[in-house]
Amino acid sequence: MNLKEVKSKEIFPGLSGKFVHGDNITWVFWDVTKNSVVKEHQHIHEQIMHVVKGKFEFTLNGTKKIYQDGDVVVIPSNIPHSGKAITNCKLMDVFSPVREEYR
């Protein structure tokens, strides 16, 4: 498979991702438009976010920080989190277990 062949899906306004699913993980390649917001939420999935390019304001369990190129955030299961794109961003997320709702 080549990532160019994977169709992008818009999950929230301004947040489009290409999803690759294994048996136990989901890997997502996001394109995020400046000022797009991911409202606070939580899920059973453990998540690791990598900021490939751009500046992304991320709040994890009430603590807000701005992350940029190369930064990685580990989001434990069931911990509230939210985000806002300060610039256009490219992000990668890995989820375990698989995000079935994104298939």
* Domain 10-98 fold: Jelly Rolls (2.60.120)
Is residue 64 classed exposed, middle or buried when 0-12, 13-18 and 19+ CB atoms within 10 A define those classes? exposed
pLDDT of the residue at 83:
98
Backbone torsions φ then ψ of 5, nearest 5 degrees: -85, -10
Average confidence (pLDDT) over 73-87: 98
Beta bridge partners of 24: none
d(CA 5, CA 63): 37
H, E, C per residue of 63-93: EEEEEECCCEEEECCCCCEEEEECCCEEEEE
Instruction: Give the start-to-end residue ranges of the domains of the chain.
Output: 10-98
Q: Which residue has the tokens 């947040």?
A: 15
Q: Which helix (H) or strand (E) holds 30?
A: strand 26-32
Average confidence (pLDDT) over 33-58: 98
- Model confidence pLDDT, tens digit, residues 9-20: 999 899 999 999
Give the pair of three-digit tokens for residue 10.
């818009």
pLDDT of the residue at 60:
98
pLDDT of the residue at 97:
98
Average confidence (pLDDT) over 79-99: 98
